[in-house]
A = this chain, B = another copy of it.
């Protein structure tokens, strides 16, 4: 599933970098909603983004690559809060 996700996101990224249109950002919103329905946490989303950027821009500097590690770490806390959210919602059903 992650390979498919990465490929779809990579196509989205390529489209957006080629031509910065608003409808591509709208597609991003829809993909984001789908990812949340699949319980994909935000740090995984950032990890997919990082991987897609590295593939798309192979001459990326090591500093940019390393900076993603820090962002992923920052996102883990948000991911934990979202899991809390899911369990609360489920408990109320």
Chain A residues close to B by CB (< 8 Å): 12-13, 16-17, 20, 24-25, 28-29, 31-33, 35-36, 42, 45-46, 49, 53, 56-57, 60-61, 63-64, 66-67, 69-71, 73-78, 81-82, 84-85, 88-89, 92
Q: Which 9 A-B pairs have the closest CB atoms?
A: A85-B85, A32-B77, A28-B73, A32-B74, A42-B78, A25-B73, A49-B71, A16-B70, A17-B63
A67 touches B17 (CB 8 A): yes
Nearest CB on B from A18, distance (A): 10
In the complex, how many angstroms separate the beta carbon of A72 from the nearest chain B beta carbon? 9
Residues B32 and A76 in contact, CB atoms below 8 Å apart: yes
User: What's the least CB distance linking A66 to chain B, in Å?
Assistant: 6
Known contacts A64-B64, A85-B88; A33 and B77 CB within 8 A of each other: yes
Contact B69 A20 (CB under 8 A): yes
